[in-house]
Chains A and B, each alone.
Chain A
Amino acid sequence: MDSVGNIIVYVVAALAIIGCSILAVTTKKILRSATYLLFALLATAVIYFQMDYEFLGAVQIAVYAGGIVVLFVFAIMLTHKPGKDAEPLTSHKRWMGVGAACAGVIVCAGALFSYGKFCCAKLLPGGNFDIKELGTALLDTDKFGYLLPFEAISILLLACIIGGVVIARRR
């Protein structure tokens, strides 16, 4: 966080995240909403790259941008007529949503800024793990190993594949 280029990249990514998130939940057309979600996720990947987590950024792009958003677009194309607007919101529901979101954001922002040291912390060196270290930790069984969640999540993914096929199958 010291060079000018880093700060510019951070500002662009943060503005992209903020703007695309707001647009994704307020736009009328559902396909545009999915596109803004895609840009918010890509800006998140930029932040991961900036924090030297290259593998995580690549996973974010591959899984989110390549998998989830494409799934969203398929589902939107299957279930919507193109070019149809969303129904206008009732005002009481909108104010309820704005109230809930603002309450949460204000509480968290108060907690964040009261601990103000964290807001301008320097990025320490480190964090640049190579892929061999990652793989070893992922299939390790000692204290910092992640073999059990790895296997659990593989079974979860298998169950999701089978469940998705069974649920969406044409009877």
Chain B
Amino acid sequence: MYLIPSLIMFGCGVYGFITRKNMIAILISLELMLNSVDINFVVFNRFLYPDQMDGMFFALFAIAIAAAETAVAIAIIINIYRVAKKVDISEITKLKF
């Protein structure tokens, strides 16, 4: 029953990832998806193997990787904004300025 909110969270993440145009909003949708996967790891660990902690470590490492990924992505977005003055992915079509 913990999987139901996680499932809806993942669906929201997919919807936002496809429809949003702002790069930071896309990153927020990505965080929603990563977080729902973390919930799944922890729920399956807790309900199926309650005396082991592998799923918890998977969730821990996933959180750390999500933090690192967000930091680098935001650095890239700020750099793009500094060069191109916009954060809309439909307007940023060049890789080199």
Contacts and interface: CB of A to CB of B under 8 A. Distances in A.
A56 interface: yes
B50 A125 contact: yes
A108 to B, nearest CB: 5
Contacts of A161: 71
A134 interface: yes
9 contacts: A25-B32, A40-B9, A67-B67, A68-B70, A79-B24, A89-B19, A94-B19, A101-B18, A129-B53
A163 B12 contact: no
Main secondary structure of the interface of A (DSSP, over half): helix
B8 A17 contact: yes
Interface in A118-171: 118-121, 123-127, 129, 133-134, 137-138, 144, 146, 149, 153, 156-157, 160-161, 163-164, 167-168, 170
A100 B18 contact: yes
A129 B3 CA distance: 23
Contacts, number: 212
Contact of A163 (B15, B28, B72): B72
A126 B24 contact: no
Interface of A: 1, 10, 13-14, 17-18, 21-22, 24-25, 30, 33-34, 37, 40-41, 44, 47-48, 51-53, 55-56, 59-60, 63-64, 67-68, 71-72, 74-76, 78-80, 86-87, 89, 93-94, 96-98, 100-102, 104-105, 108-109, 112, 118-121, 123-127, 129, 133-134, 137-138, 144, 146, 149, 153, 156-157, 160-161, 163-164, 167-168, 170
Interface of B: 1-16, 18-22, 24-25, 27-29, 31-32, 35, 38-39, 42-43, 46-47, 50-54, 56-57, 59-61, 63-72, 74-79, 81-82, 87-88
A153 B8 contact: no
A25 B63 CA distance: 21
Contacts of A163: 72, 75
Contact of B5 (A14, A55, A71, A153): A14
A129 B20 CA distance: 40
A93 B39 CA distance: 29
Given A37-B31, A56-B60, A157-B68, A101 B15 contact: yes
A59 B77 CA distance: 26
